[in-house]
């Protein structure tokens, strides 16, 4: 067997491994979204149509408005400043190169003044996307690691993960609306018979379940973005090394982030700690992400 054929075989195995990660986690995302809508049907059997429709309309308007302006909101919250080829030639050049490899329009590029090393992508679609990097990340990462991070963020854009997160947030927000209606107005008309205590109990259980499923969807999308990012970059090695560094430094330097609801956007979880909220973590453990990339 020639060296060239061995290299082709190794590439095929790696490609198949990445495809398997994508397939499994895309299937998981679909099942979790189905579970979210199953929660709506379950709650609706207790609640009745009237309150569900009102709460659903409010949740859709709120969350899809946030989705439409997601790039502006995230950039403003992080006090990010735009850069171009003149002000940040290496960074913008890498983003342009990898965007072309991913067959994506060139996103807007920003640098955030935070010292905590991290990065995120946002935007309602690939034509209105932005990628942002903290000053801490740009100082910490070498060129190969930065390539891996950029490729990961471009994968989020390519897979329209902002839209998927918005759908999950809309369903979770629905239960919050229902709880408020039950508490203040006692609305309902299904199996709960309009009993406020029953209705509040149902929507609280639904809210907890929706929040956990929403977090699980976010975690599954990170695995997909890792796999697709490795493909865009041409190798998982830079991303693996970057994740190791980012995880280590994230525990030492707190993110000055005014909006914790943005946590799911970042490449690593900005806030760390052993608490009950691990159930609601928007990212899988970094060690699991690295293991998946190495297996690919």
pLDDT for 5: 40
* The pLDDT of residue 237 is above 90: yes
Averaged pLDDT for residues 39-49: 63
Which pLDDT score is estimated for 152?
97
Give DSSP secondary structure letters for the chain: --HHHHHHHHHHHHHHHHHHHHHHHHHHHHHHHHHHHHHHHHHHHHH-HHHHHHHHHHHHHHHHHHHHTHHHHHHHHTT-EE--TTTSHHHHHHHHHHHHHTT-PPPEEEEE--SS--EEEE-SSGGG-EEEEEHHHHHH--HHHHHHHHHHHHHHHHTTHHHHHHHHHHHHHHHHHHHHHHHHT----STTTT-HHHHHHHHHHHHHHHHHHHHHHHHHHHHHHHHHHHHHHT-SHHHHHHHHHHHHHHTTS----S-GGGGGGBSS-SS--SSGGGGG-SS--HHHHHHHHHH-
Report pLDDT for 163: 76
Q: What is the pTM of this model?
A: 0.76
* Residue 43 CB neighbours (<10 A): 25
Q: Which has the minimum average pLDDT: 58-67, 205-214, 217-226?
A: 58-67
pLDDT for position 167: 73
Query: What are the pLDDT digits (tens) for 278-287?
Result: 667 888 999 9
Beta strand pairing call for 119-122 and 130-134: antiparallel
pLDDT higher than 90, residue 244: yes
Residues that are catalytic: 153
């Amino acid at each position: 067997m020639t060296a060239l054929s061995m290299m082709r075989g190794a590439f095929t195995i790696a490609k198949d491994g990445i495809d398997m990660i994508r397939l499994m986690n895309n299937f998981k995302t679909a099942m979790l979204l189905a579970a979210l809508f199953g929660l709506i049907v379950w709650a609706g059997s207790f609640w009745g149509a009237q309150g569900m429709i009102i709460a659903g309309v409010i949740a859709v308007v709120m969350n899809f408005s946030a989705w439409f302006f997601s790039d502006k909101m995230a950039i403003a919250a992080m006090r990010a400043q735009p850069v171009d080829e003149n002000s940040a030639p290496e960074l913008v050049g890498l983003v342009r190169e990898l965007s072309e490899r991913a067959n994506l329009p060139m996103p807007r590029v920003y640098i955030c003044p935070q010292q905590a090393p991290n990065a995120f992508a946002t935007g309602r679609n690939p034509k209105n996307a932005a990628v942002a990097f903290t000053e801490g990340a740009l100082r910490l990462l070498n060129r190969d690691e930065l390539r891996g991070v950029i490729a990961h963020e471009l994968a989020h854009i390519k897979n329209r993960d902002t839209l998927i997160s918005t759908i999950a947030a809309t369903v979770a927000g629905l239960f919050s609306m229902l709880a408020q209606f039950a508490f203040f107005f006692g609305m309902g008309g299904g199996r709960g018979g309009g009993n406020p205590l029953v209705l509040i109990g149902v929507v609280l259980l639904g809210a907890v379940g929706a929040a956990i499923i929403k977090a699980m969807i976010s975690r599954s999308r990170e695995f997909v973005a890792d796999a697709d990012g490795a493909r865009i970059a041409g190798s998982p090695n830079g991303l693996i090394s970057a994740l190791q560094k980012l995880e280590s430094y994230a525990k030492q330097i707190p993110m000055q982030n005014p909006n914790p609801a943005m946590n799911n956007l970042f490449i690593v979880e900005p806030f760390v700690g052993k608490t009950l909220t691990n159930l609601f973590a928007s990212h899988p453990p970094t060690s699991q992400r690295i293991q998946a990339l190495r297996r690919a």
